[in-house]
């Protein structure tokens, strides 16, 4: 089983909201000081999905990441968790792209890798929250896709996927190769082991540039953008919380009930 | 070359009716169509969905397109993308709206890539730019920490719409509209996937999306047992219990209880947030609540910025006393 997992480096979504700042002049996020970027959490779920299959029936896992200023310690995390190879598409030319340029570049890299049965992506990235790239890769490569997976069982040239729905789940069967986007319901990603971290440190990532992938320049970076960002802003929230004060927590609980009654909310 | 014209809303049905988000999109779509001086239409796709066409008209559609085919009875990516590609090429809508639902999240991106256009997911505001007449698409990004306005010069201009972000129109049963059937033209071989099983997890009591009172717990609740206390309060107030992601990931509560960006979107009258910090990802799912009450021992927790009433304290001490007082007040 040859598996590919697409991962994205993003600002840590667990950073306190107060540390989140935007530069209105450039419509860009100012990276918070002292907070390291991370692999987008749903992408870690996608790595875990591939590792579960590797545990059960063996196989090779190749992680791919696209971006610029990729921190080695961050993007090597799939290797330390148990992935076999890491391909980095790192180039200035990829800056200012969007989901369309990203999906195209990743699809071209997957084509270059050549042999794949399953391609995993997180259901959406923690920065733009779109959930477009996985389905874009599937469309560009002409592969079937299943989104929002919580359980993935390959066998007999097919894969059976439990897909999360609003009120439960559905079980979908699809032929291989296929693209699957993974949701957090799959379960917590494993922690890297010491052995894994040591092995990852020694492992040199494979680096490919746009020219290595035979990419059309009109489909890279700003030239390939489909959506135009007009404005990025932080909605202004006025805090007007009425704190219930009392001598003990028990008293404050009782006072809260009375206050809600008074405000006609209860 | 023919011109892209009008606003099209992709209708979904739930429990034998047009879904609430479909009605909300028809409301928003009507406004956009008016600003463009063009028509609003609905597209209904399914096994037998003709019965919903008149309802779409009653909710403001000037036309309702219907595609019926046994292969479309259940949503499957390949079938729906193929059919919607055909519909868009025939009707050529200027704007195409879908709900940010289990279907919309899957269909809209793949359809956009198929059509070579852009799509903005999970929009909370849509407007026509008075100058360019392009669709301005506002959507939360960075887990709700920021909002972005996107547009595109590619057609159709596509967006998915978050539930409860826009207002449903008044229903007018006397409205007249044109109902037009479109052939699916779908061959079974075009559908590569197969649905083996659909499992609905039964919700006991009131659904989160419909609840007027929600008691929600976060990581600070600590275990499955803690949520029993939240259930007691919810039951007392005829409400439902929700959770942030960590209690779901830790299996203290079912996944279906998750409220937030990737969970349920709720808008109760009263939202009691217990031992949850109020991360943007969670607030994305409950910012429509009219009254948020926060109980948290961390005075710096973000939830106090969102709440109308708050108690800084240990929920294990605060909540039982609150529950007791509520019982007394209800008995009185």
Domains of chain A by residue range: 2-224, 236-266
- Establish if A117 touches chain B: CB-CB under 8 angstroms: no
pLDDT tens profile B69-92: 999 999 999 999 999 999 999 999
On the question of pLDDT at B1 being above 70, the answer is no
Q: Which residues of B touch A263 (CB under 8 A)?
A: 291, 309
Report the pLDDT value the prediction gives residue B51, as an integer from 0 to 100. Answer: 96
A164 vs B255: CB contact, 8 Å cut-off?
A: yes
Fold of B7-190: Rossmann fold (3.40.50)
Inter-residue long-range contacts of A200-207, CB under 8 Å, 24+ positions, other chains counted: A200/A76, A200/A77, A200/A79, A200/A80, A201/A76, A203/A76, A203/A79, A203/A85, A203/A86, A205/A72, A205/A75, A205/A76, A205/A86, A205/A87, A205/A88, A206/A85, A206/A86, A206/A87, A206/A88, A207/A87, A207/A88, A207/A90
Task: Select from B158, B150, B91, B316 the least CA-distant residue to B226.
Answer: B316
Q: Is the pLDDT of residue A11 over 90?
A: yes
| Helix, strand or coil, per DSSP, at residue A12 | coil
pLDDT of A3 over the 80 cut: yes
Q: Per residue in A150-169, pLDDT tens?
A: 999 999 999 999 999 988 99
Residues 6+ apart with CB under 8 A from B72: B45, B46, B47, B79, B80, B83, B184, B186
CA dihedral A254, A260, A262, A266 (to 10 degrees): -110
| Residue among A20, A130, A256 minimizing CB distance to B121 | A130
At A91 the pLDDT is 94
Which of the four pLDDT bands, split at 50, 70 and 90, describes residue A238?
confident
DSSP, res B199: E
The structural domains of chain B, with segments of one domain joined by +, span 7-190, 208-331
A-chain residues near B101 (CB < 8 A): 166
Query: Fold identical between B7-190 and B208-331?
Result: yes
Q: How far is B146 from chain A (nearest CA, A)?
A: 4
Under CATH, to which class is B208-331 assigned? alpha beta
* pLDDT on residue B204: 81
A188/B305 CB distance under 8 A: no
A83-111: per-residue pLDDT in tens? 999 999 999 999 899 999 999 999 999 99
Element (H, E) at B41: strand B40-46
Pick the CATH number of A2-224 from 3.40.50.620, 3.60.15.10, 2.70.70.10, 3.40.50.1820: 3.40.50.620
Phi (first) and psi of residue A60, to 5 degrees: -120, 135
Q: How confident is the model at residue A227 (pLDDT cuts 50, 70, 90)?
A: very high
pLDDT digits (tens, 9 = 90+) for B18-53: 999 999 999 999 999 999 999 999 999 999 999 999
Angle at B37 between CA B31 and CA B39, to 5 degrees: 75
User: How far lies B298's CA from each of A251, B275, B302, B311, B312, in Å?
Assistant: 18, 9, 9, 10, 7
pLDDT of residue A239: 79
**Are A129 and B141 within 8 A, CB to CB?**
yes
Nearest to A254 among B142, B192, B322 (CB): B322
Task: Check CB contact of B194 with chain A, cutoff 8 Å.
Answer: yes
Q: How far apart are CA B231 and CA B240, in angstroms?
A: 7
Distance CA B27, CA B31 (A): 7
Torsion A179-A159-A45-A13 (CA) sign: positive
């Amino acid at each position: 089983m040859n598996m590919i997992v697409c991962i994205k480096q993003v600002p840590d979504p667990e950073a306190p909201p107060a540390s989140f700042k935007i530069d209105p002049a450039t419509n860009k996020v100012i990276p918070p000081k002292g907070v390291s970027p991370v692999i987008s959490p749903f992408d870690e779920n996608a790595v875990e999905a591939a590792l579960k299959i590797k545990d059960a029936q063996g196989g090779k896992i190749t992680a791919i990441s696209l971006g610029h200023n990729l921190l080695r310690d961050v993007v090597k995390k799939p290797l330390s968790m148990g992935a076999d190879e890491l391909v980095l598409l790192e180039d200035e030319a990829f800056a200012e792209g969007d989901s369309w340029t990203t999906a195209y570049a990743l699809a071209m890299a997957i084509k270059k890798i050549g042999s794949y049965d399953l391609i995993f992506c997180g259901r959406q990235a923690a920065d733009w929250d779109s959930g477009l790239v996985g389905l874009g890769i599937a469309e560009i490569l002409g592969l079937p896709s299943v989104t929002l997976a919580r359980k993935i069982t390959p066998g007999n040239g097919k894969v059976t996927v439990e897909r999360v729905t609003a009120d439960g789940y559905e079980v979908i069967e699809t032929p291989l190769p296929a693209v699957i986007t993974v949701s957090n319901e799959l379960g917590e990603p494993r922690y890297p082991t010491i052995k894994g971290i040591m092995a990852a440190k020694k492992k040199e990532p494979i680096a490919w540039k746009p020219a290595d992938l035979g990419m059309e320049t009109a489909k890279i970076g700003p030239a390939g953008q489909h959506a135009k960002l007009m404005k990025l802003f932080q909605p202004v929230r006025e805090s007007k919380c009425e704190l219930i004060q009392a001598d003990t927590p028990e008293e404050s609980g009782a006072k809260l009930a009375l206050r809600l009654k008074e405000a006609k909310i209860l | 070359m023919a011109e892209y014209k009008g606003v099209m809303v992709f209708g979904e049905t739930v429990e034998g009716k047009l879904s609430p988000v479909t009605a909300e999109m028809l409301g928003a779509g009507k406004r956009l169509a008016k600003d463009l001086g063009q028509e609003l239409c609905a597209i209904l796709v399914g096994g037998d969905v003709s019965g919903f066409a008149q309802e779409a008209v009653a909710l403001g559609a000037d036309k309702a397109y219907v595609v019926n085919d046994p292969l479309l009875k259940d949503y499957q990516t390949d079938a729906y993308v193929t059919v919607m590609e055909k519909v868009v090429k025939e009707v050529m809508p200027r704007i195409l709206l879908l709900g940010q639902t289990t279907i919309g999240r899957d269909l809209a991106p793949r359809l956009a890539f198929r059509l070579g256009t852009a799509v903005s997911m999970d929009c909370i505001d849509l407007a026509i730019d008075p100058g360019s007449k392009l669709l301005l698409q506002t959507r939360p990004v960075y887990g709700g920490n920021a909002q972005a306005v996107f547009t595109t010069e590619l057609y159709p201009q596509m967006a998915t719409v978050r539930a409860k972000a826009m207002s449903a129109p008044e229903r007018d049963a006397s409205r007249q509209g044109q109902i037009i059937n479109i052939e699916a033209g779908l061959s079974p071989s075009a559908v590569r996937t197969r649905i083996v099983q659909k499992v609905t997890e039964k919700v006991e009591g009131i659904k989160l999306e419909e609840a007027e009172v929600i008691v929600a717990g976060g990581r600070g609740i600590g275990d499955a047992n803690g949520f029993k206390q939240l259930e007691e309060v919810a039951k007392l107030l005829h409400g439902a219990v929700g959770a942030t992601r960590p209690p779901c990931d830790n299996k203290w509560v079912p996944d279906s209880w998750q409220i937030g960006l990737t969970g349920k979107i709720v808008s109760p009258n009263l939202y009691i947030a217990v031992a949850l910090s109020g991360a943007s990802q969670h607030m994305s799912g409950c910012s429509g609540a009219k009254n948020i009450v926060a109980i948290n021992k961390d005075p710096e927790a973000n939830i106090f910025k969102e709440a109308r009433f708050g108690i800084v304290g240990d929920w294990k001490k605060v909540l039982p006393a609150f529950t007791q007082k509520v019982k007394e007040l209800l008995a009185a």
